[in-house]
Amino acid sequence: MNVRYWLLALATCTALAGSAQAEDTFKIGSSVGLTGYAAVIDRAWRDGLAVAADALNEKGGILGKKIEVITEDNKSQPQDAVVGYRKMISSDQVSLFDSGCVSAGNFAAAAFVMQAKLPMYLCSILPQRDKEQEWAFSFLAPPKFEIEARYRYIKEKTDIRKVGILYDPTPYALMMKGLGEQLAKDFGLEVVAQETYKPDDADMTVQLGRINAAGGGAVIKIGQGGSTVTAAKNIKQLGLDKMLLLSSNDDGSIFQQAGQVLGDRFFFVAPPVQLPKQLKPGPAKDAVDAFLKYWKPKYPDRDPANSARAWDSMMVLAKAAEIAKSTDGTALRDATQKVPSYVGAYATFNFSEKQHVGITENPFLIGKFATGELVVAE
Amino acid sequence: MTSHVTTSIEPTGIRWQSILPIVAVLALAAVGFVSSDYIVTVLGFAFIYAIFCTGLNFFMGYTGQASFGQSAFAAIGGYGSAILCTDYGWEPLLALFATMVLSGVAAVLVGYPTLRLRGHYLAMATFALGLIVYEITIEWTALTQGYMGYSGVPPLGVAGFTLDTLKQQLVVLVVISLIGVGIAARLRQSRFGRALASIAGSESAARALGVDIARYKLIAFVIAALYASAAGSLFAHFVGFISPEVYGTTMVIQSFAMLYLGGIGTMWGPMIGAIIVSILPETMRGLKEMQDIAYTAVLILILIFAPRGLAGLSVLFRRTRVRVLEKA
């Protein structure tokens, strides 16, 4: 009888301790592609969330609750993302999602995440359907900003007026390609060729040759990963000595490799956090420094760009929770729409009821690789 | 690239052994019915893949041919259902059958010239078929929306009745997969099934027996395509979203793992394999980055100790039982 008594008491204590711990924790779910095509960006996103959670937990967490980030690898596949999202809703009972850049995975889950009344902070673009967009917030810069930054540079700093677009068929790249066609005239440029490639293509000489034959003096490369280095090598191999390559925003290691190949003919789009030495004192520099203070000691050799976005998303969340005074999903969604303009490490974020793409001001600079480091292209 | 026929390894004629897998599947479905949406989702995918693999088993297991391109027919089913239901407001069930017909026609058109090939050449040709359809789903954006994918595909339903909850959908998936296995079993025991087994055993011998090799191979290929199409459609209705990645090479690799783990050429092997391969990684989710290593290690161990697949283990039990009876 005594043994039974003790066992019952022990079970009760364990259950109570468990529930108390759950009440003291603010759980954030994150579906990220730690393997597969999105691995480079999404690993950075995961690490940015972890660093931000550590920083916020040092200051007492969110509404006095310790932040716990639960990450599930979606292997860059929608099916795995669906399972991971379901697990985080049913088993982990997260209050909010702050997920990586696998658009298809986020789109596949958007419908039932919306039904569960949980907000989705996303590294990717927003889901397509209006109802799903009401619960989603994108921390990705609108694609036109990357295009505008490059076109402005070509217009103001070079004599080139004919450009070619080299793009991969991902959703973000396709949107950017469409805008590239539309915006060229505004900058006095003409798009003379549009060529596509696959992210794992080992050779792009055919596409680059066509752009050159059409009179393109600069290549607007849309898409991320090693393909940028491949394009740089191919330009050199083809002997196109005057052709410029202007790359999308990407990991700093990619910029270094491409810069080593093409030298001063390689340029890239970069947020301020990727070129911190050139920043002037002000709120943007303060935000970058606040992030790097936690990031650099942990990851001294890693590029901070995508992790800075994840960091910013957590800071926006902290502010939303302060406004909501609750960790309820609906309250957090509504409060996110009321967060005042936030100057982050990656960009300034302006969310509102009708504005769920947070970056509304172009944060991008044009950078180049010189004297062994990434610098602003003057 | 032909596999030895293994159609005689399962015991037949013992009623309880025939019923046991059905009971096990229903028990598993019952567990899902009282579990969270997470478990239901995992089981739902398992039964969708069970349908896909049961079809693939016709061509690879019963007929002994190689096909790396069945994902193409799943893509036709998935995109067909998504487009017909989302853009044209078709009933999901009607769309499912319509796309099965479309896949069947495509399989005849593709299979007629392709199935003249044998061995590695057939494997390469079918792999190319899968890659071609995958490229089409990416590049033909006006039809497929490319990488943006198709959202808002309605859940399965008929005549205005919709399966709104995941658990309702799970029940239907279980029923459809059991019907799929039932049809496969009947066909396998028929004259047609015996002809396929003879082709798997030796094409020359089958031809000598008067089996029309090309015709039977084509029929098996079409049946596999019908199953794949149904699985592709069901995936679209179950998730509500599809994109090219869903029907990529991952699907081919996963279905092969299921088929060989469960037991190629056996009746219940595809179902067992689909369930194990779907559930096993979830039991190891806590291992985080080590999950894939542990999962593949277990798969390798299973394949080492059960080279004919898990369904083939029933032979061991039968032998043990026979030995016990002989001793008695």
What is the model's pLDDT at position A18? 47
Share of chain A above pLDDT 90, in %: 80
> Both A44 and A122 in a single domain?
yes
pLDDT band at B291 (very low <50, low <70, confident <90, very high): confident
Determine, for residues B38 and A90 on separate chains, whether the beta-carbon distance falls below 8 Å.
Answer: yes
Residues A46-51, mean pLDDT to the nearest whole number: 97
Among candidates A79, A108, A171 on the partner chain, residue whose Cβ is nearest the Cβ of B147: A171
> Both A24 and A123 in a single domain?
yes
**A117 in a structural domain:** yes
**How many other CB atoms sit within 10 Å of the CB of residue A61?**
18
Is the CB of residue A184 less than 8 Å from the CB of residue A164? no
> Both A266 and A329 in a single domain?
no
Residue A12 has pLDDT above 60, yes or no: no
Q: What is the pLDDT of residues B38-62, one digit of tens each?
A: 999 999 999 999 999 999 999 999 9
**What is the reported pTM?**
0.86
> Both A57 and A104 in a single domain?
yes
**A355 in a structural domain:** no
Among candidates B38, B149, B240 on the partner chain, residue whose Cβ is nearest the Cβ of A104: B149
Residue A13 has pLDDT above 50, yes or no: no
> Burial letters for B193-225: b for 16+ Cβ neighbours within 10 Å, e otherwise?
bbbbbbbbeebeebeeeebebeebbbbbbbbbb
How distant is the alpha carbon of residue B105 from its chain centre? 19
Q: In this structure, are strands A266-270 and A365-370 parallel, antiparallel, or unpaired? A: antiparallel
pLDDT band at A170 (very low <50, low <70, confident <90, very high): confident
What residues of A are in contact with residue B282 (Cβ under 8 Å)? 83, 87
The domain total for chain A is 2
Determine, for residues B149 and A76 on separate chains, whether the beta-carbon distance falls below 8 Å.
Answer: no
Tokens of B31: 């567990």
Tokens of A47: 């690490």
Residue B60 DSSP symbol: I
* CA nearest neighbour of A92 among A70, A124, A76: A70
**A63 in a structural domain:** yes
What residues of A are in contact with residue B239 (Cβ under 8 Å)? 78-79, 82, 108
Hey, which residues does A218 pair with through a beta bridge? A163, A244
pLDDT band at A193 (very low <50, low <70, confident <90, very high): very high
**A378 in a structural domain:** no
Instruction: State how far residue B128 is from chain A, nearest Cα, in angstroms.
Output: 17
What is the model's pLDDT at position B63? 92
Average pLDDT over chain A reads: 91
Tokens of A358: 């947070």
Residue A51 has pLDDT above 60, yes or no: yes
Closest Cα in chain B to A103: B148
Q: In this structure, are strands A96-99 and A120-122 parallel, antiparallel, or unpaired? A: parallel
**A339 in a structural domain:** yes
What ipTM was assigned to the predicted interfaces of this complex? 0.85
* CA nearest neighbour of A313 among A293, A336, A290, A288: A336
d(CA A27, CA A16): 18
Q: Say how many residues make up chain B.
A: 328
**HSE-up (13 A, CA, CB side) for residue A197:** 25
Say yes or no: B287 contacts chain A, CB-CB below 8 A.
no
pLDDT band at A4 (very low <50, low <70, confident <90, very high): low
Determine, for residues B147 and A104 on separate chains, whether the beta-carbon distance falls below 8 Å.
Answer: yes
Look up the domain containing A310 and give its range. 2-141+292-349
Closest Cα in chain B to A106: B241
**A44 in a structural domain:** yes
Instruction: State how far residue B31 is from chain A, nearest Cα, in angstroms.
Output: 16
> Both A129 and A229 in a single domain?
no
Among candidates A104, A132, A169 on the partner chain, residue whose Cβ is nearest the Cβ of B245: A104
Tokens of B52: 């896909």
How distant is the alpha carbon of residue B106 from its chain centre? 18
> Both A219 and A92 in a single domain?
no
**A167 in a structural domain:** yes
Report the CATH number at residue A257. 3.40.50.2300
Residue A8 has pLDDT above 70, yes or no: no
Determine, for residues A104 and B139 on separate chains, whether the beta-carbon distance falls below 8 Å.
Answer: no
Instruction: Kindly list the domain boundaries of chain B, sorted by start residue.
Output: 15-327
- Residue B293: exposed, middle, or buried by beta-carbon count in 10 A (0-12, 13-18, 19+)? exposed
* CA nearest neighbour of A272 among A255, A289, A293, A295: A289
Residues A18-38, mean pLDDT to the nearest whole number: 80
Residue B22 has pLDDT above 70, yes or no: yes
Q: What is the pLDDT of residues A74-125, one digit of tens each?
A: 999 999 999 999 999 999 999 999 999 999 999 999 999 999 999 999 999 9
Fold of B15-327: ABC transporter involved in vitamin B12 uptake, BtuC (1.10.3470)
